[in-house]
Amino acid sequence: MFKINPDFCYDNPLSFYFDASNFPNQELMNECYSFLESALYINELERPKFLNAVWFQCELIMNSHSFPDTFSIYFDKLQMDIRHQHSMLGFVLKWFGGYPCGSHMGKYEAALKIVEEKFLSLYPNESTPEKDFCLIDQNHPHDIMHVSAGQPADTIRPIQKGSSFAHRIAINFGDLPKFIIQKAIYGRFEYSRLLDIESYSKWRYEYMEFLKTIPKQYRLTTIKKGIEYGGKVLKYHQASCRNSGLCPLEESLTRRISIAEDLLEKSLLSNEDDISEQQSSSITSKEFTLARQVLATNYLLDYAGVKNVDITAKAKFIQFLTGKQLGAKSIHNTEIYKKLRNPFPANEAALTKDLQFIRKYFEELGLTPILAKINKELGSKE
């Protein structure tokens, strides 16, 4: 939750920041708002509060720039956690043109230098999305980037809702609906904080879950355009990144593009336009269904004496064994959990096939007690 001392924050509505009469540089405002959503994960209700905090600091700088030495006194009064203070100070720098501080900041340079020092000191040995995003734009160094300043007509580019890069990249999305472009391309191949294998598994899972919800004729095109767009974003970012080769955004984009390429390759090899049946972790035999894996594991746990245990613990154990549905936000929303609640479905024909399939594995293992239970269950259905 975003918290700040209310004495250092305005109370303007969100519309105040998307009013060109207040902030002529709506291109930059849109870019920053998109970053709040896609990289910082600040929820929709708290974004106006964050922008109000940023603008308060900007006006404080503009009103006290003649006394830069006194400006650092207020940092301890913000009552913010380090993470959000880092984000807010980065935005302040971004709204004055981006760091490193220089002549582009005009008379505010001295005060902003103090902000820059504080911003960098909060995570001195760590790359952060804010450090990448809030850099001065080396690709367009002559743009007037101050958020409250106007832009020369020849530098204004069309604003693309939900994107931090689309207005700087040439790409034709054809007939893809706007909601697909915004959610499956802009929302997937721009800034994102992915730190470990679990976060990439979750990204893949959520990406595929979204693809299942769109018309089949758009699925392959969506993946292809995502790969193309991600590649162009990566190239654009590399042109200005001062940490290329070690940059977390560069790594994140490269890995997300690779995931999409893998999905595309598997879809093309199977000659199918519908990739929704692919598992989120790997392609396995169609006979190795989740229902059978849950059923077999349930027998094993019962054989091991694991009875009076919450279903949640069992579901997490099966998730670990199978590697499936790793990206689910909650174990209670997974098919694993739902099937554990009722491992013997009402469809007797399907259950019979599942029991016959898993029985051979228990025969090979010589687990007679489990075989007896399976045979008893099968006998009741014959």
Tens of pLDDT, residues 173-220: 888 998 899 889 988 888 766 767 878 888 888 899 899 899 888 999
Model confidence at 233: pLDDT above 80: yes
Contacts 24+ apart (CB under 8 A), 209-215: 209/327, 210/183, 210/184, 211/184, 211/275, 211/276, 212/276, 214/177, 214/180, 214/184
Stretch 110-127: mean pLDDT: 89
Lowest mean pLDDT segment, chosen from 35-39, 42-46, 278-282, 369-373 = 278-282
Model confidence at 71: pLDDT above 70: no
Model confidence at 328: pLDDT above 80: no
* Band of pLDDT at residue 283, cut at 50, 70 and 90: very low
* Band of pLDDT at residue 226, cut at 50, 70 and 90: very high
Phi, psi of 208 (to 5 degrees): -70, -35
What's the confidence (pLDDT) of residue 156?
A: 38
> What would the pLDDT profile of 51-63 be if each residue is shown by its tens digit?
999 998 888 888 7
Lowest mean pLDDT segment, chosen from 44-53, 229-238, 262-271 = 262-271
* Band of pLDDT at residue 284, cut at 50, 70 and 90: very low
Q: What percent of the chain has pLDDT over 70?
A: 80
Model confidence at 22: pLDDT above 60: yes
What's the confidence (pLDDT) of residue 257?
A: 92
Lowest mean pLDDT segment, chosen from 59-68, 186-195, 239-248, 333-342 = 239-248
Model confidence at 331: pLDDT above 90: no
Per the structure block, which two tokens stand in for 371? 């075989």
What's the confidence (pLDDT) of residue 87?
A: 92
Whole-angstrom Cα distance, residue 357 to residue 256?
36
What's the confidence (pLDDT) of residue 286?
A: 64
Stretch 210-236: mean pLDDT: 90
> What would the pLDDT profile of 105-116 be if each residue is shown by its tens digit?
888 888 899 999
Stretch 75-96: mean pLDDT: 87
Which of residues 330 and 151 earns the better pLDDT score? 330
What's the confidence (pLDDT) of residue 54?
A: 92
Per the structure block, which two tokens stand in for 181? 């472009």
Q: Indicate the average pLDDT of the chain.
A: 80
